[in-house]
Structure 1
């Protein structure tokens, strides 16, 4: 047991080095209680009014991430037992990493964003009546090279164990294979699940984007600030479908101790998008994944420049209250992917460098009402949280 503890401790120390580096570069992070505006996105979304109609009850969201830490800000029955796919250490082949534990706090943050009860300084979840099915992977550890195969197992597990939505606030590095993930995604979709994937937090550099978001039917999620402007770090491109708030939100502090206010990145934004879908599906349990996705896209706060979508904000900010309170959106055909219609090809402007994302102007989405931690973008750079380039890129066709 001592060997296992030492090994786990080394994992935590490795993650802590990254967190410290980000804290220096991104500024000081304050305790969540010190920022009274950090839940403002719930007010803008009219969450309390929506909860009178639907609160996510009857919908299970699988959070494939770094696990969850018990007692971190939700009702005990909001989080299901779940499963862990982290391999045991060589010296302890019988050791089991429980799903209700979390080395880095990333999965804990995503869970609270969906079903949190606002206790312990954490966020109030957008879909507090939903259930979270935690599926623990090696995210945030030096073993993160195994996340691809672990996530593929997790996607299949979610499909076979009652989930309706899969939240993938994960990223991809260039050497991670998609050969297991793509069939797993297709399997889950064949069983009627709706999948959300974070675009990644590399928008200011090489703009690596998450290849999972490029798979047909998967909803790619970017991050905006509370005013609707795309966050500069948000990875972006033709696979961006929706956005949600990713800044000034509650995230787990360094070493997963308590709650702090900071940038949740595309990871947090993805959890809000998943929770938005849970609210809609809770109100319309007879709808299919395609229909839920379609009304979220139709009712999103569109780009302010008048276009239907942009590579920065997709079709806009997710606004479930337009569906629940204003009764907008046409669910349409139950078996047709709303993103599958052909779209006109995009040609870069003459003389533009498509990799120079940092210099490109950022788009804004109208009515930004849905608004990685300061630690997630850099932690992901080393430990596979919130990145985005894959060896295999599959371009999904989008409607015009």
Structure 2
């Protein structure tokens, strides 16, 4: 258990014990300012659809920290107030506190994400409120532009480590790279988060932005990947994508978010579904201070609302189903020993073969080779017109041996031919015998 988890657990135990001693009953949080009749608050249909208001009867995320690695959380006092407890910039273009919005197009993205996860809402119960309105936030600003001073992969790896080192219990990543694979630097960065008991929540991506299949970081084993559904709980066509790594689904259409200037705007995408789930994870960790990250993920997927006709147990559109905050908090589930969304360490061992430990070099016993015989002593050079011993041995003598018999045979054949010819002539000139 980490030091921050121990402190949070101890504080929760003290509060519970004091309340039980004084009242003799378990504590019930004071009613949160919440005016469902307010137009903005009423538009947050997920507060009831995902049973978040019901979960608020137990906890609102107090004592838990969510790190938002995005374009920066704007300074909107009415929404974020004391929510942002720290931040940094890893892009090389922002301000040291990570609060300056980055990007002409995406500058408000980080504020929208943060407002869904842990927006405070107005004291009178109006205005936008986040899923975990008492959780803390860390703002880590990154630049999505290709012209960023620091490569994007390096920004993410650095942001992950900074978040862990600065007390994050949950990290939200509402972006995709549109590729299945990821930079090797992310291996260590994500593994660092898992080894420090941090829940990493990732958006699945959107078809509307050209993401036809799920991409990294949603493909990294161990992260909780969030797919998107519309207001009726049906998988979104434009504001989500599909893939076998999706673990849970949450609303991704008809969303609202608070921009860096405080304006409430409509938006959609799994970039918004992810912080809803990150907020639910904060509620779970607040209600169960000693719970491990892998058990937070297990609670979320095991208590999901089933989707009719979806592939069981894990559908490429819905994952395990629709997120249910109240059930995830109250369910009686045993602890698990492995992350149900995969083991990054094992993946690295199997697929990053170049990173494995070098195999021992086999020892070899030298073989003694006998020395070659000494070469023949060189002969003294003679005249090229006179025969040498070698020329007589290998040239002249064999030639004589072959030539002499041939000459003798030829002479014999010639002599025989002459005798035969002489005999024929003799016969031809013999006078006829008398009768």
TM-score by length of 1: 0.68
Q: Does 2:273 match 1:269?
A: yes
- CA–CA separation in structure 1 for the residues paired with 2:319 and 2:66: 23
Q: Secondary structure at the residue paired with 1:285?
A: coil
Q: Secondary structure at the residue paired with 1:231?
A: coil
- CA–CA separation in structure 2 for the residues paired with 1:202 and 1:168: 17
Distance 1:237 1:50, change over 3 A: same
User: Relative to structure 2, which stretch is displaced further, 149-158 or 95-104?
Assistant: 95-104
The match for 1:83 among 77, 84, 88 is 88
Aligned match of 2:341: 339
Runs of 5+ unmatched residues, structure 2: 1-37, 344-350, 353-435
User: Do the aligned residues in 1 keep the contact of 2:229 with 2:235 (CA within 8 Å)?
Assistant: yes
Aligned match of 1:298: 302
Distance 1:340 1:146, change over 3 A: closer
Matches within 5 A, 1:227-376: 227-233=232-238, 234-252=240-258, 256-305=260-309, 307-324=312-329, 327-333=330-336, 335-340=337-342
- CA–CA separation in structure 2 for the residues paired with 1:251 and 1:175: 29
- CA–CA separation in structure 1 for the residues paired with 2:287 and 2:158: 30
Q: Secondary structure at the residue paired with 1:235?
A: coil
Aligned match of 1:43: 48
Distance 1:314 1:36, change over 3 A: same
User: Do the aligned residues in 2 keep the contact of 1:81 with 1:100 (CA within 8 Å)?
Assistant: no
Aligned match of 1:368: none
Distance 1:173 1:271, change over 3 A: same
Post-superposition offset of 1:65 = 0.3
User: Do the aligned residues in 2 keep the contact of 1:63 with 1:166 (CA within 8 Å)?
Assistant: yes
Q: Secondary structure at the residue paired with 2:278?
A: helix
Using CA pairs under 8 Å that are at least 6 residues apart, name the structure with larger relative contact order, 1 or 2.
1
User: Do the aligned residues in 2 keep the contact of 1:115 with 1:132 (CA within 8 Å)?
Assistant: yes
Q: 4+ residue runs of structure 1 moved beyond 6 angstroms?
A: 33-36
User: Relative to structure 2, which stretch is displaced further, 74-83 or 235-244?
Assistant: 74-83
Matches within 5 A, 1:92-241: 96=95, 98-103=97-102, 104-119=107-122, 123-139=128-144, 142-143=147-148, 146-174=151-179, 177-202=182-207, 205=210, 207-233=212-238, 234-241=240-247
User: Do the aligned residues in 2 keep the contact of 1:196 with 1:270 (CA within 8 Å)?
Assistant: yes
Aligned length, in residue pairs: 300
Aligned match of 2:421: none
Post-superposition offset of 1:331 = 3.9
Distance 1:232 1:122, change over 3 A: farther
Tell me the alpha carbon deviations over residues 349-371 of structure 1, each in whole angstroms, 9 at most, x when there is no partner. xxxxxxxxxxxxxxxxxxxxxxx
User: Relative to structure 2, which stretch is displaced further, 237-246 or 96-105?
Assistant: 96-105
Higher-Rg structure is: 2
User: Do the aligned residues in 1 keep the contact of 2:51 with 2:324 (CA within 8 Å)?
Assistant: no
Runs of 5+ unmatched residues, structure 1: 1-32, 89-94, 342-392, 395-400
- CA–CA separation in structure 2 for the residues paired with 1:71 and 1:140: 24
Q: Secondary structure at the residue paired with 2:290?
A: coil
Aligned match of 1:383: none
User: Do the aligned residues in 2 keep the contact of 1:99 with 1:134 (CA within 8 Å)?
Assistant: yes
Distance 1:313 1:130, change over 3 A: same
User: Do the aligned residues in 2 keep the contact of 1:292 with 1:331 (CA within 8 Å)?
Assistant: no
TM-score by length of 2: 0.63
- CA–CA separation in structure 2 for the residues paired with 1:331 and 1:146: 42
For the aligned residue pairs, the C-alpha RMSD in angstroms reads 2.8
Distance 1:60 1:331, change over 3 A: farther
- CA–CA separation in structure 2 for the residues paired with 1:206 and 1:169: 13
User: Do the aligned residues in 1 keep the contact of 2:41 with 2:129 (CA within 8 Å)?
Assistant: no
